[in-house]
Structure 1
Amino acid sequence: MRIALLARCVGPLLLALSSAATFAQAGSADAPVCSKDPLGGRSLYLRGTFNSWNAVDRQRFTWACNRYELVTSLQGEHRFKLGDEGWSADADFGAPPGAARSPMLALRGQEISRKFSGVYRLRLSMSPSLRTPTLDIESCPAQAPLGDTVLFLRGSMNNWAAVDDFQFRWSCDAYYLNVKVTGRHDFKLADVAWSPKTSFGADPQMRPAAGATGNLNAVFSGEHTLRLAFVDGKPDFSIGPKTFADPTAQQVSHPVALSLKFDSRAPQFKQPFGAVVAGTPIRYSLAADKGVDRVTLVIENRRLEGNQEVLEYSTLARLPMQRRADGSGERWEVTHRFEQIGVYGYWFEVQIGDAAFVYQNNSQAVFWTREKGSGGLGAVADKPASTRTVRRFRQTVYSADFKVPEWAPDTVYYYIFPDRFRNGDRSNDPRPGGGRTQDRYHDKDVEFHANWNSKPFRPGTGDGSDAHFNNDFFGGDLAGIIEKLDYIKSLGANAIYMTPVFQASSNHKYDTADYTRVDPAFGTNADFARLTREAARRGIRIIPDTSLNHTGSDSIYFDRFGKYASRGAFEGGKIRKDSLYASWYRFDETQTDPNKQYTGWVGVADLPELDKASPAWRDFAYRKPDSVMKQWLDLGAAGWRMDVAPWVPDDFWREWRAAIRAHTPDAITIAETWFDSSKYFLGDMFDSTMNYIFRNAVLEYAAGGNAKELWQNIELMREAYPPQAFYALMNLLSSHDQARSLHVLGWHEDSKPDAIALAKQRYKLAVLVQMTFPGSPAIYYGDEVSVTGGDDPYNRATYPWADLGGRPDEDMLAWFRKLTALRNQHAVLRRGSIDAPLFLDERVVVLHRALGDEHAIVLLNNAETERAVALNVPDRLRGRYLDLLTGERLDLSHRVMQINAPARGGRVLVRQK
């Protein structure tokens, strides 16, 4: 309803004498028909390429009366869907087939594509049957009209105070506030200081106005939504039924429950810190005000098998905690010893009078990880009907004999997609219409780029390519890598990780045709051995890649197209029980459609899934003395990166690791996992993983994201991973499976020079983080000379060699070389210990590294301006420092020192002896 102004102007505090502007209450005809949350309390999220498809709180919808609503800022072209945390069957919404631009959504629909630029309000309206949802997306103003000013409802209902419970929230188009008030009340809308420009009452013309001294008046009867908008700069205020979706609404109000506190990373709440060796006792302590009756620590086993979709906990112990006095409050304490390796969950069940609560992990999303909660400070909630929804704190318990190769923390990887790096032997290039193995893609022709600097083909884009994916080639090979080993060495890298080089039909080679043979388009097995020898002469290790989860359909083992002399398990599209490889796969003879007679990995028929339980397959892969894994180690490989590790059973990896280590004790084992990989670091499976959590956190930080939020992803790994694994993580920023860093940071095909310059500046900051952080940095080929590109295939562009007409960015290359040199020269930047940041706010992160009596302080700043940091310098860190980036010398001899951090940059300070 609109305002009915009936009063004259009087002072805001002369309540007894005041007349007021009066509001008529909204009638029932205006009230929407409200219904219960159709998902029964489960949260719904906007999930897409802008948040790594995670369920993050900042993009969580709020149910309000009859719809879900979200206001969020989005930039760039993105794909997205709406889903709950587990992509449940009744909460996975996308576009109906063939209707990508329709507001209608469908369960299990397709990804929606849209270009964003600003702030948006998304409203998902639901039918009672949950079958006909519609999504409306509207643009919002770039900023609130009152800037950072905070408005409150101040009146007789709250003694005219500025109370948090009566704080308005700006949401897209107006300031909103939900209230639960009864009776007639005088009030105004005002900031804390009663500033004339931001205090709204009734003016002499009986309209709401800034600085007006007349009190507003309304009769309240329960729950309402107050709305203040600005139309042509003038305030427009209304009161109606409660319809505002307030994302900040607090669920728990009990004062004692709100006093509960536990921080998994603070020694006063949990000791020892982080992951522990099996058999280590851990002390837990929960703080609270007086009034708690009982606290129970609930310890649970997490099921350790399969991908992260398999997420189950079972109760291991319920431990009563003991109360002790702690100043004016209390401490509840208990000690537990974890005897077996594993990943455990724990949370606190709290009884206060008749009310039951849980103290659980926070709601922070971890990149790519289904399970929410980043560790650290937790949160209280009412005890749910089912403990399935409790967010567990997580505890990693690993084997006392867990060791990674001693060389791992000193590694800088150069990460190569072989077809696109360098063509060193043109005689083995794939030829369209040719008759050699490398000249055919399954039963189809190949495409070859005569121009090394052209874009990879993507069918359906009008680029002149055929209708098939992954069948275009540029001619990169092992000879090209050998030719450029000195370049790689000069970059500061001492290991090469390369995607598969074994025979396969595609350009990516994950559809293996023969595990025992280098693809003819890449060279020969002798070329592989020569590569490892030449690399070793330069102090460079070679890490190959393959999948033990699936082969190609066009392989000697499966042979769907009948191309090979050996009898494949599905030769010519028929099940061949007499094949030597028949037991490697699972077949369904009841099906008549060949595509349904076997399982393609994630539904892809070109990638028939292997039966990892098959003894014959395990013998071939790693058990036998001449097994595939051992063959390539004997040819000089320094370890293995394993594709799609979560789809392979854990017991397979345990056997595999034991076989690898028995054959080559210092070989490294690297998993391809994108999420919290704790279960792989118990000492029985892997040493390392491709660290996509690091990638996303660092790139979002470099793009200007909130450091306080993003750094929790880093702290989770520091807490959850055993130190030896944490220092061996492959810390990448780009990969062949994700858009390149410069694309993520804003350099697109249509970008203007200013946007390109900004993206480069941001990327330099990201690389600075990468090169000064524990773990093994991975440089994706071409990133060091500013190659950009979006999703596959454009992230797999060629290296722009100058002798082939390319234009490598020498400035960026110099930055990489400078940072790798610093890392290689200063062991403290590779092996130095690291704790929680010395300083952390929304923009600045200050880290301390220590190795014996060596100390380094790294300052990072993603703000667009220089920031002055007042740093508390612990006694052990005081002294004189050298900035390795600028050569400046600093004296940090006092307890509090001010240090300047450059805009979108940083400093690397090393203490001088």
Structure 2
Amino acid sequence: MNKQAIIHRPTDQHAYVCADNSVNIMIQTQKGDCKGIHFIHGDPYDWEEKKWKNKKIAMRKTGTDQLYDYWQVTIKPASHRLRYGFKLNDGENPLYFGEGGFSAQEPNDIAFYFCIPYVHVSDAFQAPAWVKNTVWYQIFPERFANGNTKNDPKDTLAWGSSEPTADNFFGGDLQGVIEQISYLKELGITGLYFTPIFKAYSNHKYDTIDYLEIDPQFGDKETLKQLIKVCHDNGIKVMLDAVFNHSGFYFPLFQDVVEKGEKSKYKDWFHIHDFPLIFEPKPNYDTFAFTPFMPKLNTQNEEVRNYLLNVGRYWVEEFDIDGWRLDVANEVDHGFWRDFHKVVKGIKPDLYILGEIWHDAMPWLRGDQFDAVMNYPFTRNILDLFAKESIDRKTFAENMTAVIHMYPASIHTNAFNLVGSHDTPRILHECSGDKRKVQQIFTFLLTFIGTPCIYYGDEIGIDGDGDPGCRKCMIWDEEQQDRHMLEHVRKLITLRKNHPLLANEGNLSFLPVEMNSHCFAFMKEKQDKTIIVIFNLSDQEEQFTLPAHQNRQMPIDLWTGNKVKDKKIPLEARGFSILEF
């Protein structure tokens, strides 16, 4: 057995407390190296005749990626204390593994074993319960709907009359969203994520001028209050976008530094290398990327911290928002985010805190900072398989298994899953215009674990390259909408709501890939119910053979409502099937 590939530490995704006082344990072994693992556990103070009393329970293999097998077990220690280790079986000689290393014989010294001194339920990661049942819709306010032409910026263009650019305006506002709530409700949306609505110079508003004011082109605070009330009355949560990593160039305090230089009392609000300030070709102060128009805020400065914490507090207290999405969250110090968590959760405990992090985000997901991050590893794998066809089915399943095992299971139900945003090309563009691929991607997104998000207009077939092409005006003329795509998405959302196994219930696993096929499937199981979601990646009709333990049952195809009478499931080209057993 390859000892170097055996990985476990009593922390993070490998060992964590759950809200019901249980403990989830995971261990990784080299792929195919281990036939089974028994979990050895007991109270460190429970001895009999000078021998430590412990129990052994078989662990469940929960997935395989390109390098590792993953094994898990969940137990509820009777005494809240836990010493534990592993008995690994390769079919020949057992191997014992604990904090003390490896042993060919079962150690009796509890110092050999891993330790959880006491199970405190207060240490459990607990995201808001409502999030796992939410289907989000991302709105770029300037391009969604123009409900009040009186607040249009100067030189506003007629709606949709031109391609989007980095600096043109079409007049989208909050009133426009209010007027389209019925559209969103009929689609099945239960959460709105708005890109920034605070006063800023640009059309995207990520260059904040005033964190405590609505941008006049979007309306005023009364309009926002009305919007939030209408949303709440219709069962829709509201999440705003905050940019605490950097301000805008025209943020008054940065302008004070521009004007007064080293004499400005706000110079320490930013990361300035030296004076005088230099803007081109490269600024001599830290920024978002290297743009001089977004100076980085110094969150180590107490005045800055207090100012931004007050911003977080204000919009929760005064407007009863349901979530904060935090821009460039990985470049802000952890101490600030811990303070932010305390402040906003102290006001509204079930507030959703979502960080924009594009990579492994475990350091932010330990329960004291964020509830979730934008799940871009999920996005990349989806696009690579369905849209770009740059990976095969086996690699996809292995990659997704690795993503699933990056974090504790309690985090996955709140993971913000997306396939497009204001930062990425439109999903239809990624699929080179193939709407069958888009439908498959939406099917995967809306039947997988996590909390899915639809980027405005993707559901009606809006196309567009990356920024600014992905920021086109929403199309409201039904004759110009892809109504077939809209109905496809609406039906998937309805199925997700009516069948908990299509959302965040049950245990998920990928079925073995058949080499002579272009199909793949994943399965969700809970007690006496199973759902299998199958995809055909070929441009030809294919058949998928049900697993042996399932093919004696007669499932129902939830998409068509028909009973399936054969163990071979026909799938049209680029088609899918959702079977319930």
TM-score (norm 2): 0.80
Match for 1:711: what amino acid?
A
Structure 1 or 2, whichever has the larger Rg, is 1
Distance 2:357 2:62 in 1: 30
473, 480, 502: which one pairs with 1:798?
Answer: 473
CA deviation vs aligned residue, 1:248-299 (integer Å, no higher than 9, x gap): xxxxxxxxx9996699983797643599999674527374989x9xx998x9
Matches within 5 A, 1:867-906: 867-874=542-549, 879-891=553-565, 897-906=567-576
631, 636, 642: which one pairs with 2:326?
Answer: 642
Do the aligned partners of residues 282 and 779 (structure 1) sit closer, same or farther apart at CA in structure 2, a change above 3 Å counting? farther
Query: What's the secondary structure of 1:796's corresponding residue?
Result: coil
Do the aligned partners of residues 768 and 611 (structure 1) sit closer, same or farther apart at CA in structure 2, a change above 3 Å counting? same
Instruction: Name the residue aligned to 1:824.
Output: 497
Match for 1:520: what amino acid?
P
C-alpha deviation, 1:869, in angstroms: 2.5
Instruction: Name the residue aligned to 1:456.
Output: 164
Match for 2:185: what amino acid?
K
The sequence identity of aligned pairs, in percent, is 29
Distance 2:531 2:36 in 1: 27
633, 638, 658: which one pairs with 2:316?
Answer: 633
Structure 2 residue ranges without an equivalent (≥5): 1-29, 38-59, 64-68
Matches within 5 A, 1:343-742: 400-432=123-155, 448-457=156-165, 470-559=166-255, 568=256, 570-572=257-259, 574-578=261-265, 581-591=266-276, 593=278, 596-622=283-309, 627-634=310-317, 635-703=319-387, 704=389, 705-742=391-428
Distance 1:270 1:338 in 2: 20
> Contact 1:633–1:664 (CA<8 Å) still a contact in 2?
yes
Query: What's the secondary structure of 1:513's corresponding residue?
Result: strand
Matches within 5 A, 1:42-57: none
Match for 1:837: what amino acid?
F
316, 337, 344: which one pairs with 2:114?
Answer: 337
CA deviation vs aligned residue, 1:469-528 (integer Å, no higher than 9, x gap): x32111111111111111011111110001000011011111111110111111111111
249, 268, 272: which one pairs with 2:72?
Answer: 272
> Contact 2:448–2:504 (CA<8 Å) still a contact in 1?
no
Instruction: Name the residue aligned to 1:12.
Output: none
C-alpha deviation, 1:841, in angstroms: 4.2
> Contact 1:789–1:795 (CA<8 Å) still a contact in 2?
yes
Distance 1:258 1:475 in 2: 55
Do the aligned partners of residues 718 and 259 (structure 1) sit closer, same or farther apart at CA in structure 2, a change above 3 Å counting? closer
Q: Does 1:283 align with 2:78?
A: no
C-alpha deviation, 1:830, in angstroms: 1.5
Match for 1:474: what amino acid?
F
Match for 1:593: what amino acid?
I
Distance 2:407 2:188 in 1: 27
> Contact 2:144–2:456 (CA<8 Å) still a contact in 1?
yes
Distance 1:583 1:722 in 2: 39
Distance 2:470 2:36 in 1: 40
Match for 1:587: what amino acid?
I
Distance 1:275 1:584 in 2: 48
Distance 2:190 2:88 in 1: 45
CA deviation vs aligned residue, 1:71-113 (integer Å, no higher than 9, x gap): xxxxxxxxxxxxxxxxxxxxxxxxxxxxxxxxxxxxxxxxxxx
Distance 2:315 2:149 in 1: 25
Match for 2:487: what amino acid?
A
Instruction: Name the residue aligned to 1:357.
Output: none
> Contact 1:702–1:904 (CA<8 Å) still a contact in 2?
no
> Contact 1:846–1:860 (CA<8 Å) still a contact in 2?
yes
C-alpha deviation, 1:699, in angstroms: 2.2
Do the aligned partners of residues 785 and 260 (structure 1) sit closer, same or farther apart at CA in structure 2, a change above 3 Å counting? closer
Query: What's the secondary structure of 1:831's corresponding residue?
Result: coil
Distance 1:614 1:279 in 2: 42
Q: Does 1:322 align with 2:103?
A: yes
Which structure's residues are more often strand, by fraction? 1
Which structure's residues are more often helix, by fraction? 2
Matches within 5 A, 1:64-463: 266=61, 271-272=71-72, 281=84, 283=86, 285=88, 287=90, 319-323=100-104, 337=114, 339=116, 400-432=123-155, 448-457=156-165
Instruction: Name the residue aligned to 2:534.
Output: 859
CA deviation vs aligned residue, 1:120-154 (integer Å, no higher than 9, x gap): xxxxxxxxxxxxxxxxxxxxxxxxxxxxxxxxxxx
C-alpha deviation, 1:726, in angstroms: 0.2
485, 488, 497: which one pairs with 1:815?
Answer: 488
C-alpha deviation, 1:719, in angstroms: 1.5
Q: Provide the aligned length of Structure 1 versus Structure 2.
A: 510
Distance 2:75 2:466 in 1: 35
> Contact 2:209–2:247 (CA<8 Å) still a contact in 1?
yes
Query: What's the secondary structure of 2:335's corresponding residue?
Result: helix
> Contact 1:274–1:719 (CA<8 Å) still a contact in 2?
no
Using the TM superposition, name which of 279-288 and 544-553 deviates more: 279-288
C-alpha deviation, 1:660, in angstroms: 1.7
Instruction: Name the residue aligned to 2:19.
Output: none
Instruction: Name the residue aligned to 2:43.
Output: none
Do the aligned partners of residues 602 and 548 (structure 1) sit closer, same or farther apart at CA in structure 2, a change above 3 Å counting? same
Do the aligned partners of residues 556 and 884 (structure 1) sit closer, same or farther apart at CA in structure 2, a change above 3 Å counting? same
Query: What's the secondary structure of 2:568's corresponding residue?
Result: strand
C-alpha deviation, 1:530, in angstroms: 0.9
Q: Does 1:846 align with 2:532?
A: no
> Contact 2:36–2:88 (CA<8 Å) still a contact in 1?
no
Q: Which has the higher contact order (CA 8 A, sep 6+)?
A: 2
> Contact 2:261–2:267 (CA<8 Å) still a contact in 1?
no
Match for 1:838: what amino acid?
L
Instruction: Name the residue aligned to 1:777.
Output: 452
Match for 2:147: what amino acid?
G
Do the aligned partners of residues 282 and 430 (structure 1) sit closer, same or farther apart at CA in structure 2, a change above 3 Å counting? farther
Using the TM superposition, name which of 418-427 and 702-711 deviates more: 702-711
Do the aligned partners of residues 455 and 588 (structure 1) sit closer, same or farther apart at CA in structure 2, a change above 3 Å counting? same
> Contact 1:839–1:871 (CA<8 Å) still a contact in 2?
no
C-alpha deviation, 1:880, in angstroms: 3.5
Instruction: Name the residue aligned to 1:391.
Output: none
Do the aligned partners of residues 865 and 671 (structure 1) sit closer, same or farther apart at CA in structure 2, a change above 3 Å counting? same
Match for 2:364: what amino acid?
Y
Distance 1:279 1:500 in 2: 46
Query: What's the secondary structure of 1:835's corresponding residue?
Result: strand
Query: What's the secondary structure of 1:798's corresponding residue?
Result: coil
C-alpha deviation, 1:593, in angstroms: 3.5
Distance 1:737 1:487 in 2: 24
Do the aligned partners of residues 834 and 616 (structure 1) sit closer, same or farther apart at CA in structure 2, a change above 3 Å counting? same
> Contact 1:573–1:594 (CA<8 Å) still a contact in 2?
no
> Contact 1:274–1:721 (CA<8 Å) still a contact in 2?
no
C-alpha deviation, 1:683, in angstroms: 1.5
C-alpha deviation, 1:537, in angstroms: 0.8
Query: What's the secondary structure of 2:405's corresponding residue?
Result: helix
Match for 1:629: what amino acid?
G
CA deviation vs aligned residue, 1:823-855 (integer Å, no higher than 9, x gap): 112222122223321333463222222345443
> Contact 1:745–1:763 (CA<8 Å) still a contact in 2?
yes
Instruction: Name the residue aligned to 2:3.
Output: none
Distance 1:275 1:680 in 2: 26
C-alpha deviation, 1:409, in angstroms: 1.0
Query: What's the secondary structure of 1:794's corresponding residue?
Result: coil
